[in-house]
Structure 1
Amino acid sequence: MSTHGGLSDGFEYYLPSTTESTHADLTEGLVVVDTNVLLNLYRYNERTRSDLMKVLAKFGDRLFVPHQVAFEFWERREKVIHDASGMSQHYADELQKKASMALDVLNEWKNRVSPPATFVTEVRGKLEKVFAEVAEQVRSLDTSIPADAARNAADDEVLNELLPLLRGRVGAAPDDATCRADDAEAQRRAKAEIPPGYKDDKKPGEKPFGDYRVWAQACREALVRGLPLLIVTDDRKEDWWHMPHNKRFGPRRELSAEFTKSGGVRLNLMTPPSVLLHAREALGIEIADESVQSAKTVRVRGANRVSSAFLEKMPSGRDGQYAEHILTMTRCAQSNPDVEDFIDAFMEAFPSITRPEVARRRVGTLIALGLIEMDDDAVRLTSDGEAYARDGDVELLRELFMRRVKHAETIRDLARTLSREELSERIYGGQVDNLSATQGTRIYQYMRALDLIPPKTGESTGPVMDVELDHALDAEFDED
């Protein structure tokens, strides 16, 4: 009698998901939602929130929330509501600031060209009107939960839907012996970089154990019920996902193997946008296209930007020590902190920054340079970020700058043929590839401080500022 098997026997976890298997997971599996999925309900617009709630309700008793997820939800709910409330008002205010910048550019142009006064008045009026109208439209689309909802459950629409939806569907707290065993296993895995959770190893307190607790509690429930396990998460870390070429293709193979070898049926990971997309056919639910897109937008917010990302102001830049300041900023993320802890460390390192919202903007430089990844849960160093935080290699920083910052090559090419004064005039006049004067000025100053624009014969070196750019930079280093 032959004992030979087929190609996939014993290697089932290598098989990619198909549309059929995904639909089977949605219609037959135990559906476990991660903490970020529940918290993102506070960040979605009303339509997206409603569509995802419909899908969750459709799962019925197959919907399961591990005890650890419920704990993390209650621990972070108030802060998420506070951060999400009034978001449209915040960005409407930001638009008004941009209106002031546009008017400054108009005034600068007026002083150089001397156009008719009536023309300037007309254009200024159009600018002010357009920005005011757009800002008002942004305010009118604010569907966030009011900040008072954190203390008054009657105002919390999300909570009022989740409470009946999840009644009888939240796992019981594990006993003390199970908790100790889970945490010991989480610690062992973190040291050996065994998924999941090792990317959170440097988080303070009990936080490094959170991912493994969710995993262990979800697996135990699926094994008891004898169902396929589908985990819905917005977590993007590599200790959950199989990521060849930085693309996410289902769960880590180690996780799939562990689950099936312990007697599990099948493991799958999906994001909320993917669930919404497949729910149309698998569950027969009408889902708006805008809901899928909105869920994607919330999911990638704060994620690593590509080369078109904008640089932000230096938190302390007049001394020209950009590389040192970027190194200090990067090292604030070495412990994989929560966003709040990271912002606190950032403000402690740069006392001139006194408001968290300003610190959050300044951190954009690290994202633009590919040194950190930042989502609503935590801040993590990229592999380049880890190398720079460890070695402080300025050559690595220069290479990242030229590779990732749009227009850097153009400005360097111009610097080879133009005098510093000519280049300054072009940049400040917005004459470089339609690059704004503000962003052009910023890129130029970064490049000079990082010695990416070598001085010509007879020109000074170091962080000396060009007279032409002085006016712009007076505001550049003041806290906004």
Structure 2
Amino acid sequence: MAGLFDGFEGYRVVADAERRSALTSALVAVDANVLLNLYRYNARTTNDLLAIFERLGDRLVVPHQAVREFHRNRLSAIGNPEQATTEARNGLDKSRHGAARALDVWSKKVALDESELRQLHSEIEQVFRRLQDVVDRAAPDRVHPTTPTEDDPVLRRLTELLDGKVLARPDDERWNELITQGNKRVEDEVPPGYLDVEKGEQFPEGASGDFLVYIQACVEAKARDLDLLIVTNDEKEDWWWRRGAELIGPRREMTEEFFALASRRLYLMRPSDLLVLSDALDLTVDPESAKDADTSRADIEDLGKWTVEAVDTLLERLRGEGRRGLADVIVEAARQGGTLGRDAVYALCGYDEDRLLVGFTRPTARIAGDLQAEELLPATVRPMLTPLYRGPGRLYALRVPPEVVAMFGSDETTVDDAIEPDGAGKYAPLTDYLQELADDSATMTFAELEGLLAAPLAPSARKYPQYWYSPANSLGKAVDAAGFKARLVRLKAETVEFARRTT
């Protein structure tokens, strides 16, 4: 006779006592995001977590894919301490000047004695000097992207801690089978990791990364005949059984899948959970460490943004490689508000209906990586093209980042044409000038261009970078008619470069 939970193991809600027991007896597999956050926590929290990992001994493992992602993303996790310090100092300096000015205005209105005003200014200076000293003292202790491996305290401890604990990569045939299986699960929305579908074109393993971490940990736990505890910072619903904001446990499908595989229990914890339950391992950690680990890291993981220069360079390189259709898809998606449907993609690229879009966005990811290496693009940005799926394997649209929409998609790019009925004639001298140009590019100031036109530029030219890139307005039509395009627009410097189209 079966019991209430036989065949329904995923519906059991785990008690704290069971979680404590798991921490002392289960195989503990750590995800990449946990290792990466060791660079983001304060030193106390990092040391407390590493102490817990050390106490686990041989029960601690890290799947091959987790280590792969750790090395892939480590520099991004380290960030740019110098930039953060500079920004903090500049912000404090700006606040100091603002406080001093506010004090001066107030003192005049209340007729404050000059000696009292000087004393208050002195106190302001002392406060901000102390704050800047704190910022300056913290900077030298940070790990930098160029810090040698042997001088990186996190890497040093991890190297010793994980010696013999990284699960080996399966042979090529099995590894490729797992990647295929993982990507199929993403298409079918089978946890874990199916919400990472946008990573499908970014990495060799596609969107299967979370599955690779999970399945290798499951297989290892079965081989050791142990329960499995996976530690992750991922809180999305493709890992967790949730009710609103509450995290109840692993997704039921995962719990039942692991039980069917190993007849063992599956547990899921965050680093903050480990710190709260550390006394189960006879460890005492600072209570503040759990609070630090539980704090959202969104403030330090903000994605960078595509710049006009980076987008312009990406489009230029795509066209230079003969991928004009791909470049047109990006621009049109931006003009359509950020998303372009599958049919429109096929129409722009001239594809037959039976053609697959597998690998379509890969060139944009490759060039974006080149731009990051050249420091023309922040280390963390949204993919230029994100595939959107509806149902297994059915791509229905492509999406571009919102900042790219702002570059191309504003209605302001054509507003001026409504008040310039003779816009085409106005910009005819520019077409003539570019057609007669011997060089492949020319940089002009806005003033020089206005001199050439013998007329002022449209108001949008000084307000919106996207105005210069749109082929729909009079300026864009004049530039395009000459076989050129605008690029490297600098609104503050009021300069623009016109470059001859290569395709």
Question: What TM bracket, shorter-length normalisation?
Answer: 0.5 to 0.7
Q: Give per-residue Cα distances to partners, 1:190-244, cap 9 Å, x unaligned.
A: 1111111211111123351211111111111111111111111111222111121
C-alpha change, 1:274 and 1:74, in structure 2 (3 Å) is same
Which residue of structure 1 lines up, in the alignment, with residue 38 of structure 2? 41
Matches within 5 A, 1:322-341: 331=338
C-alpha change, 1:197 and 1:355, in structure 2 (3 Å) is closer
Q: C-alpha distance in 2, partners of 1:355/1:124?
A: 41
User: Normalising by structure 2, what TM-score?
Assistant: 0.58
Which one of 189, 192, 196 corresponds to residue 193 of structure 1?
189
Aligned-pair Cα RMSD in Å: 5.0
C-alpha change, 1:45 and 1:90, in structure 2 (3 Å) is farther
Cα displacement (A) at 1:101: 5.8
Which residue of structure 1 lines up, in the alignment, with residue 284 of structure 2? 286
Task: Classify the secondary structure of the residue corresponding to 2:268.
Answer: strand
- Percentage of matched positions with identical amino acids: 34
User: Normalising by structure 1, what TM-score?
Assistant: 0.61
Which residue of structure 2 lines up, in the alignment, with residue 250 of structure 1? 249
C-alpha change, 1:134 and 1:278, in structure 2 (3 Å) is same
Aligned residues between the structures: 352
Check conservation: 2:107, 2:117, Cα contact below 8 A: no
Task: Classify the secondary structure of the residue corresponding to 1:286.
Answer: coil
Q: Give the counterpart letter for 2:16 in structure 1.
A: T
Q: C-alpha distance in 1, partners of 2:291/2:276?
A: 10
Task: Classify the secondary structure of the residue corresponding to 2:241.
Answer: coil
Which residue of structure 2 lines up, in the alignment, with residue 146 of structure 1? 143
Q: C-alpha distance in 2, partners of 1:70/1:154?
A: 18
C-alpha change, 1:478 and 1:129, in structure 2 (3 Å) is farther
Q: C-alpha distance in 1, partners of 2:274/2:43?
A: 18
Q: Give the counterpart letter for 1:278 in structure 2.
A: L
Q: C-alpha distance in 2, partners of 1:264/1:331?
A: 47
Check conservation: 1:232, 1:269, Cα contact below 8 A: yes
Check conservation: 1:276, 1:287, Cα contact below 8 A: yes
Q: Give the counterpart letter for 1:209 in structure 2.
A: S
Larger mean CA deviation between 184-193 and 54-63 belongs to: 184-193
Cα displacement (A) at 1:53: 1.1
Check conservation: 2:338, 2:400, Cα contact below 8 A: no
Q: C-alpha distance in 1, partners of 2:12/2:301?
A: 29
Check conservation: 2:96, 2:124, Cα contact below 8 A: no
Larger mean CA deviation between 200-209 and 84-93 belongs to: 84-93
Check conservation: 1:276, 1:292, Cα contact below 8 A: yes
Alignment pair present for 1:19 and 2:16: yes
Q: C-alpha distance in 1, partners of 2:237/2:300?
A: 17
Q: C-alpha distance in 2, partners of 1:238/1:229?
A: 19
Which residue of structure 1 lines up, in the alignment, with residue 311 of structure 2? none
Which one of 113, 121, 124 corresponds to residue 121 of structure 2?
124
Check conservation: 2:96, 2:128, Cα contact below 8 A: no
Task: Classify the secondary structure of the residue corresponding to 1:44.
Answer: coil
Q: C-alpha distance in 2, partners of 1:295/1:80?
A: 15
Which residue of structure 1 lines up, in the alignment, with residue 229 of structure 2? 230
C-alpha change, 1:40 and 1:70, in structure 2 (3 Å) is same
C-alpha change, 1:90 and 1:40, in structure 2 (3 Å) is farther
Cα displacement (A) at 1:138: 3.5
Which residue of structure 2 lines up, in the alignment, with residue 171 of structure 1? 167
The structure with the greater share of residues assigned to strand is 2
Q: C-alpha distance in 2, partners of 1:142/1:286?
A: 29
C-alpha change, 1:355 and 1:277, in structure 2 (3 Å) is same
List runs of 5+ in structure 2 lacking aligned partners: 309-333, 342-360, 389-397, 402-490, 494-503
Cα displacement (A) at 1:115: 4.3
List runs of 5+ in structure 1 lacking aligned partners: 305-314, 317-326, 349-353, 364-371, 373-378, 382-388, 393-476
Task: Classify the secondary structure of the residue corresponding to 2:40.
Answer: coil
Check conservation: 1:13, 1:253, Cα contact below 8 A: yes
Cα displacement (A) at 1:478: 7.8
C-alpha change, 1:65 and 1:390, in structure 2 (3 Å) is closer
Q: Give per-residue Cα distances to partners, 1:277-332, cap 9 Å, x unaligned.
A: 1012x10101011222222236454589xxxxxxxxxx99xxxxxxxxxx99x959
Q: C-alpha distance in 2, partners of 1:391/1:89?
A: 31
